[in-house]
Amino acid sequence: MVFAAPIRLQGNRVWLDVSVEGLPPESFILDTGTTESLISDSWANSVKLRERGASIIGGLGGVERTSVLRVEDVVIGGTFRIPYMEFHGTKSVVDSSTRGLIGAPLFTDMDSDLDFVANQWRIYPDGRSERPGMYLIPESYMPRRASYGLTTPVQIGDFSGRFLIDTGAPRNILLDGKAARDIGWWDSERPYVPVRASGFGKGSLRTRMFRADKVLLHKFAFPRALVTLAEPDPRNGNFDNVEGLVGLDMIRHFHLSTDPKRKQLWMAPNGLGFAGTERYPMSGLWLDRKGTRIVIEDVGNGSPAKDAGLQPGDTLVGVEWNAMLRRLGGKPGDQVAFDYERDGKRGHAQFNLKPYL
C-alpha cells in the first residue's frame, strides 16, 4: 500500500496541504531539519485547538517557550490519515503564508519517498520494495533516537563532515560556527556576500556566503556551489553531531527514500536543472539600524560596494530603510547611489548591482 501526498516547491519551501480535526486543508511546510512539528499559535487559537501543556524548543533564532497541542485526525495531502499528532504552538512558523511545519519524524519513521519530479511525498506504511538505481548514504540516521534527523557526508575542499538534510533551510550549505572556523574562509580574501541566517526563534546568525570550487554531497559533485558560513564561534549555530545543514537548494536535485527499519537513507539525482535556483544579494552590503541611523555592518570582498570604497561603520545619509532595502535587492545593472558619513565627513557612493561571486 502506498499513499501519495501532493507536494509543491514554491519560494524555496516544500509545501503540502494538511487538515486537522475535520477542518479544511491548510498549507504547511515539510521541514526535515526540525524534530518537532509546529503550528501557528494564532491560527490554533482561532480554530480552538486544545492546548495540553508547554515546552521549550530551540532553533537557529534561539529558544522559545511553546504550547503543546495534541491534535486529532491529521490528514496529510488529502490521503494519509494519522489519528493524532503532537504539535508545538509558536509565533515563529518561519513563513507567514503557512499554518505550521511538519517535522522530520513522519519522514524518517516510515518508509517514504520524497520525489520533486512527480511532486509527491509517498508513504509506505507496510514497507517499501527495493530501490534500484539509488545510492545508499552511509550512517545517515542520526545516532540519538530523539533527534529523528537524516545526515549525509559533505566535502568542501579539504574540509569534510556530516551535515543535516534540512528541507526547511532554503539555501545550499550552512556551516556552523565551529566548522566555519575549521574551514578558515571567514577572514580570508575570498569574495563573499554578507547575509543573515534565520529560522525558528526571533534571532538570526551573522553569516557570509562564499563560492566553493566544488562541493561533494556523498559521491555527487556540485561545481562552484554556494556555501554559507556562520561567524566562527563555538556558540554560533552549532548542531548536535553534525557540522551544518544541507538546504533545499541542493536537496531538490535528488530523489530521497527512507528505510527506518534498517536506518537507511537512499538518494539518486532526479535530473532537475539548476536554472533559477541560485540567488544572493548583489550589492555586498549588510545594513543595520542603530536608533535612527542606518549603519553599514559588513561589506563583502569583491563586491560593488567594496569597489565603491564603502566600509563597515559608514552611516547612510538621507535614505529611508525600506526604500534602501528595495534598491539593494534590485536586478543586475541597477544603479545604487547615496551619501554617507565617515568620521564626521560626508561622502558619496555610487555602484551597479552585479553577481560577483
pLDDT of 144: 63
Q: State the pTM of this model.
A: 0.88
Closest CA to 163 of 250, 105, 95: 250
Q: Tell me which residue has cell 538534510.
A: 165
Q: Which triple of cell numbers denotes residue 13?
A: 519551501
- The predicted pLDDT at position 216 comes to 96
pLDDT of residue 149: 87
3-state secondary structure of 182: helix
Task: Report the pLDDT value the prediction gives residue 323, as an integer from 0 to 100.
Answer: 96
Residue 10 CB burial class (10 angstroms; 0-12, 13-18, ≥19): exposed
Look up cell 532553533; give the residue: 59
Res 238: pLDDT: 62
Nearest to 123 by CA among 135, 114, 132: 114
pLDDT in tens, the chain (357 residues): 999 999 999 888 999 999 999 999 999 999 998 888 999 888 888 898 888 877 666 655 566 777 888 999 999 999 999 999 999 988 766 667 789 999 998 899 999 999 999 999 999 999 998 899 999 999 998 876 545 789 999 999 999 999 999 999 888 899 999 999 999 999 999 999 999 876 555 556 889 999 999 999 999 999 999 999 999 976 665 667 899 999 999 999 999 999 999 999 999 999 987 654 568 999 999 999 999 999 999 999 999 999 999 999 999 999 999 999 999 999 999 999 999 999 999 999 999 999 999
Q: Specify the pLDDT at position 79.
A: 96
d(CA 95, CA 261): 33
pLDDT at residue 98 in the model: 85
Report the alpha-carbon distance of residue 305 to residue 311 in Å, rounded: 8
Residue with cell 504539535: 87
Delineate the domains of the chain, giving CATH numbers in brackets: 3-124 (2.40.70.10), 145-254 (2.40.70.10), 285-352 (2.30.42.10)
> What DSSP element (H or E) covers 110?
none
Q: Tell me how far apart the alpha carbons of residues 17 and 5 are, in angstroms, rounded to a whole number.
A: 8
